[in-house]
């Protein structure tokens, strides 16, 4: 039958009333389905667009506020005035940063803007803390604040431009978001992206090392203090891996190729280890520093069936392990129990002072007490022989700074880390108030209350918050 | 008549497709479909309690849809411009806030609250299911490293849900139920407890599938499984 014949045949069949209505119904159903799907998709797109717009407008508002608050802080003459403005600037910068993270613009384009907002926030926060302590701004800090304000103004300007384009409909979020659509990739998609990039470029000249806040760049590149010793080669490091696990257990140690441009502050060798008493695919991963051959971390992923030893035995096993690997004077501080394993924190103790920054985490399998995890980044980055001074205030004086209603259970000396990666020498008091256990740290030199931690004692571990 | 059969068959196939396209989607159903005179049970009790709280109903909260309940529902419907027939339809129950969102279709993993651990485990599951254990911990560590880095949002949820940041989020793989025997939860815990096989990396990509040219401008630190990790 020719095509024409088929068509005629079909036409004839259509004349059959039943057939006709069935075809109509099917077409109508398909059309309705299509319309429904289209509307549904359009609706979802609109909702998404609204979310993007909300995040964007919110962010613009917060950036504007940061701008104003910074100038207010610069104008304010009293410490209280500066503190109040800076605190609010910190909050608003954080909110702006949160909203920035919700925009459908690729991260690399936003990175510097995000960094700027974080740094404004952290700087404001740090200054605010300093103000609360009664110390006024130094000239240098004042200048930095001025500079930051200048950047805030220019960011504000660029954002306003962008906002205008969005408001007049020349720009659409889905054009930014749909990077995949070829149609837009060359023309319109480039434009808005460039706009954001321009904003970002302003901040590329932004100095990276301007303050000592928690997120400043130089923190990322802190020189590890605990990594001592001579450079070791792959073979020497392999020997220390075998020693770490015990020669009687290790079956094979394979070096894992590193990328040559490993520019991390801590250079390492990686190994994959198999064991004599375990199946071939059950391996442990371990990394050893090139300098000194210290184990920086180890993970042995093996199933742990059942719980045969209690926490005290686990703590002992961890301590024995550390001692035999050359980590002397470590005391257990906190632990966490999950899935038949215990993660125990050990801190270094020097002359009866607990040094919390020198932290090693040990993961103990509770079926046979084997060590299946080890993490010593804290220890390696901060451990050294410290000159610990005599405390300037006595234990009693420090005790008197704590709420008299609290019951003190124990006390001692401790060095604690701050969020600025510095260390403070303190008295540590463990106490109880209204049925909650807490730790209070009183500066052993100034008597200032440095930190309060609430201890959560659960069946699964002792945690602090 | 053969054609007719084909057409009927096709329309049936079409209808089945149409219906199944909704399966697994989010549907709103009431706790109980429709309540009317003579209905009994806990849903009626809950409805009576609400109506009583709002002053439409002054009888006993006994779980029996009697005449008083009927009148109360009628009044409620009149007040809320819902077709007043004294039958607690879905619209009515909706207006009372007595409907609940239920997922049909796929079985979802039991969520023990939306904790960071769960979210991280889901992200690892979506991004690195087939990877070696070390690679799974590494993906978790990258997410955590980002929360501490000024260029990125500060929370785990903020980093994971940053638009375009992770393909597993963009294509919904993050919602895949976690296999209880898989290692991703353990990997998430290890990452949260501070194990970081990448030593501070902020990016990772699969060299075989990476579409962004930009990502190659990153410094490669390490290769674990199929992924490159870099800063």
pLDDT digits (tens, 9 = 90+) for A13-71: 777 778 888 889 999 999 999 999 999 998 888 888 888 888 888 888 898 899 889 88
CB contact under 8 A, A299 and B193: no
Does residue A105 surpass a pLDDT of 70? yes
CB contact under 8 A, B11 and A22: yes
Q: Mean pLDDT throughout A321-333?
A: 91
Does residue A208 surpass a pLDDT of 90? no
The partner residue sitting opposite A285, judged by closest CB among B149, B197, B212, is B197
Chain A nearest-CA distance from B187, in A, is 9
Q: In this predicted structure, what is the pLDDT of residue B36?
A: 78
Q: How many residues does chain B have?
A: 231
Chain A nearest-CA distance from B52, in A, is 37
Angle, helix A107-132 to helix A17-75, in steps of 10 degrees: 40
Q: What pTM, to 2 d.p., does this model score?
A: 0.68
Q: How many residues does chain A have?
A: 465
Rg (CA), chain A: 31
The partner residue sitting opposite A107, judged by closest CB among B14, B165, B183, is B165
At A286, is the pLDDT very low, low, confident or very high (cuts 50, 70, 90)? Answer: very high
Q: In this predicted structure, what is the pLDDT of residue A203?
A: 42
At A295, is the pLDDT very low, low, confident or very high (cuts 50, 70, 90)? Answer: very high
Q: Which two structure tokens, joined as six digits, stand for A200? A: 């970002």
Q: Which residues of A touch B163 (CB under 8 A)?
A: 102-105, 177
Does residue B164 surpass a pLDDT of 90? no
**Strand boundaries in A368-448, DSSP class E:** 371-375, 407-417, 423-433, 436-443
Q: Is the Cβ–Cβ distance between B137 and B228 less than 8 Å?
A: no
Q: Structural domains in chain B?
A: 28-103 (1.10.101.10), 116-230 (1.10.10.2520)
Phi-psi region of A204 (alpha: psi -120 to 50; beta: other; left: phi over 0): alpha
Q: Which residues of B touch A107 (CB under 8 A)?
A: 151-152, 162, 164-165
Q: In this predicted structure, what is the pLDDT of residue A196?
A: 47
CB atoms within 10 A of CB A276: 9
Q: In this predicted structure, what is the pLDDT of residue A244?
A: 92
Tens digit of pLDDT for each residue in A142-198?
887 888 888 888 788 777 777 777 777 666 666 665 543 333 233 333 333 444 444
Q: In this predicted structure, what is the pLDDT of residue A187?
A: 32
Distance CA A311, CA A338 (A): 12
Q: Which residues of A touch B210 (CB under 8 A)?
A: none
Does residue B97 surpass a pLDDT of 80? no
Chain A nearest-CA distance from B99, in A, is 22
**Strand boundaries in B40-118, DSSP class E:** 99-103
Q: In this predicted structure, what is the pLDDT of residue A318?
A: 94
Tens digit of pLDDT for each residue in A3-17?
888 888 877 777 777
Q: In this predicted structure, what is the pLDDT of residue A165?
A: 72
Range name among A3-12, A102-111, A219-228 with the lowest pLDDT average: A219-228
Chain A nearest-CA distance from B200, in A, is 8
For residues B162 and B115, which has the higher predicted lDDT (pLDDT)?
B162
At A210, is the pLDDT very low, low, confident or very high (cuts 50, 70, 90)? Answer: very low
Which residue intervals of chain A bear CATH 3.10.450? Answer: 395-464
Distance CA A236, CA A222 (A): 26
CB contact under 8 A, B150 and A285: no
CB contact under 8 A, A29 and B11: yes
Q: Which two structure tokens, joined as six digits, stand for A201? A: 């470029």
Does residue A403 surpass a pLDDT of 60? yes
Distance CA B76, CA B82 (A): 8
- ipTM for the assembly: 0.73
User: What CATH class has A395-464?
Assistant: alpha beta
CB contact under 8 A, A297 and B165: no
* A 268-297 residues inside an 8 A Cβ radius of B: 268, 270, 285, 287, 296-297
User: A30 at the B interface (CB within 8 A)?
Assistant: yes
Q: Which two structure tokens, joined as six digits, stand for A300? A: 């042995």
Residues 6+ apart with CB under 8 A from A250: A241, A242, A273, A274, A275, A276
Chain A nearest-CA distance from B3, in A, is 9
At A1, is the pLDDT very low, low, confident or very high (cuts 50, 70, 90)? Answer: low
CB contact under 8 A, B196 and A13: no
Taking all residues of chain B, what is their mean pLDDT, rounded to a whole number?
75
Q: Is the Cβ–Cβ distance between B185 and B131 less than 8 Å?
A: no
Does residue B128 surpass a pLDDT of 80? yes
Q: Which residues of A touch B194 (CB under 8 A)?
A: 361, 375, 377
Chain A residue with minimum CA distance to B182: A303
Burial of A56: CB neighbours in 10 Å, binned 0-12, 13-18, 19+: buried
CB contact under 8 A, B231 and A263: yes
Chain A nearest-CA distance from B158, in A, is 7
If you search the block for the tokens 């200032």, which residue do you land on? A448
Question: Three-state DSSP class for A111?
Answer: helix
The partner residue sitting opposite B153, judged by closest CB among A101, A104, A262, is A101
């Amino acid at each position: 039958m020719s095509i024409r014949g088929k068509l005629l045949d079909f036409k004839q069949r259509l004349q059959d009333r039943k057939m006709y209505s069935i075809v109509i119904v099917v077409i109508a159903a398909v059309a309705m389905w299509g319309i429904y799907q289209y509307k549904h998709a359009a609706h979802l797109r609109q909702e998404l667009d609204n979310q993007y717009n909300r995040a964007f407008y919110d962010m613009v508002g917060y950036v504007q506020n940061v701008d104003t608050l910074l100038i207010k802080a610069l104008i304010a003459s009293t410490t209280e005035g500066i503190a109040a403005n800076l605190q609010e600037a910190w909050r608003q910068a954080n909110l702006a940063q949160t909203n920035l993270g919700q925009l459908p613009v690729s991260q690399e384009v936003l990175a510097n803007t995000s960094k700027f907002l974080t740094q404004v926030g952290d700087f404001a926060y740090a200054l605010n803390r300093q103000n609360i302590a009664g110390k006024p701004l130094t000239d240098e800090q004042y200048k930095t604040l001025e500079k930051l304000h200048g950047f805030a103004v220019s960011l504000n300007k660029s954002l306003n431009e962008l906002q205008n384009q969005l408001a007049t409909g020349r720009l659409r979020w889905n054009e930014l978001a749909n990077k995949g659509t070829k149609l837009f990739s060359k023309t319109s998609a480039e434009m808005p992206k460039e706009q954001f990039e321009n904003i970002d470029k302003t901040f590329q000249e932004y100095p990276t090392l301007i303050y000592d806040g928690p997120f400043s760049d130089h923190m990322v590149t802190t020189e590890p203090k605990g990594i001592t010793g001579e450079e070791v080669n792959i073979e020497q490091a392999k020997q220390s891996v075998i020693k770490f696990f015990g020669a009687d257990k290790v079956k094979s140690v394979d070096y894992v190729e590193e990328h040559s441009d490993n520019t991390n502050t801590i250079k390492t060798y990686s190994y994959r280890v198999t064991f004599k008493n375990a199946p071939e695919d059950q391996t442990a991963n371990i990394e050893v520093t090139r300098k000194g051959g210290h184990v920086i971390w180890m993970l042995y992923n093996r199933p742990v069936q059942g719980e045969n030893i209690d926490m005290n035995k686990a703590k002992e096993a961890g301590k024995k392990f550390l001692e035999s690997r050359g980590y002397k004077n470590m005391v257990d501080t906190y632990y966490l129990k999950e899935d038949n394993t215990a993660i125990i924190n050990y801190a270094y103790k020097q002359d009866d002072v607990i040094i919390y920054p020198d932290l090693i985490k040990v993961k103990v399998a509770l079926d046979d007490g084997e060590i299946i995890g080890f993490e010593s980044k804290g220890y390696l980055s901060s451990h050294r022989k410290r000159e610990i001074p005599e405390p300037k205030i006595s234990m009693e004086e420090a005790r008197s700074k704590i709420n008299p209603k609290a019951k003190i259970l124990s006390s001692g000396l401790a060095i604690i880390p701050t969020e600025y990666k510095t260390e403070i020498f303190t008295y540590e008091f463990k106490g109880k108030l209204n049925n909650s256990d807490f730790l209070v740290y009183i500066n052993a030199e100034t008597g200032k209350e440095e930190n309060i931690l609430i201890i959560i004692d659960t069946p699964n571990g002792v945690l602090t918050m | 008549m053969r054609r007719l059969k084909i057409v009927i068959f096709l329309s049936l196939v079409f209808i089945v497709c149409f219906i199944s396209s909704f399966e697994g989607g989010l549907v709103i159903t009431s706790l109980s479909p429709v309540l009317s005179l003579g209905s009994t049970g806990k849903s009626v009790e809950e409805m009576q309690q609400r109506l009583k709280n709002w002053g439409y109903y002054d009888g006993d909260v006994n779980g029996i849809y009697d005449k008083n309940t009927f009148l109360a529902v009628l009044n409620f419907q009149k007040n809320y411009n819902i077709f007043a027939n004294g039958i607690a339809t879905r619209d009515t129950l909706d207006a009372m806030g007595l409907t609940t969102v239920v997922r049909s279709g796929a079985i979802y993993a039991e969520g023990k609250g939306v904790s960071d651990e769960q979210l991280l485990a889901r992200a690892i599951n979506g991004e690195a299911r087939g990877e070696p254990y070390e690679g799974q911990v590494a993906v978790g560590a990258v997410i955590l490293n980002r929360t501490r880095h000024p260029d990125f949002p500060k929370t785990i949820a903020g980093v994971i849900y940053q638009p375009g940041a992770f393909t597993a989020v963009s294509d919904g793989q993050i919602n895949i139920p976690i296999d209880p025997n898989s290692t991703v939860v353990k990997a998430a815990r290890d990452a949260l407890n501070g194990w970081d096989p990448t030593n501070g990396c902020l990016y990772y990509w699969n060299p075989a599938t990476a579409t962004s040219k930009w990502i190659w401008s990153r410094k490669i630190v390490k290769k674990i499984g199929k992924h490159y990790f870099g800063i």
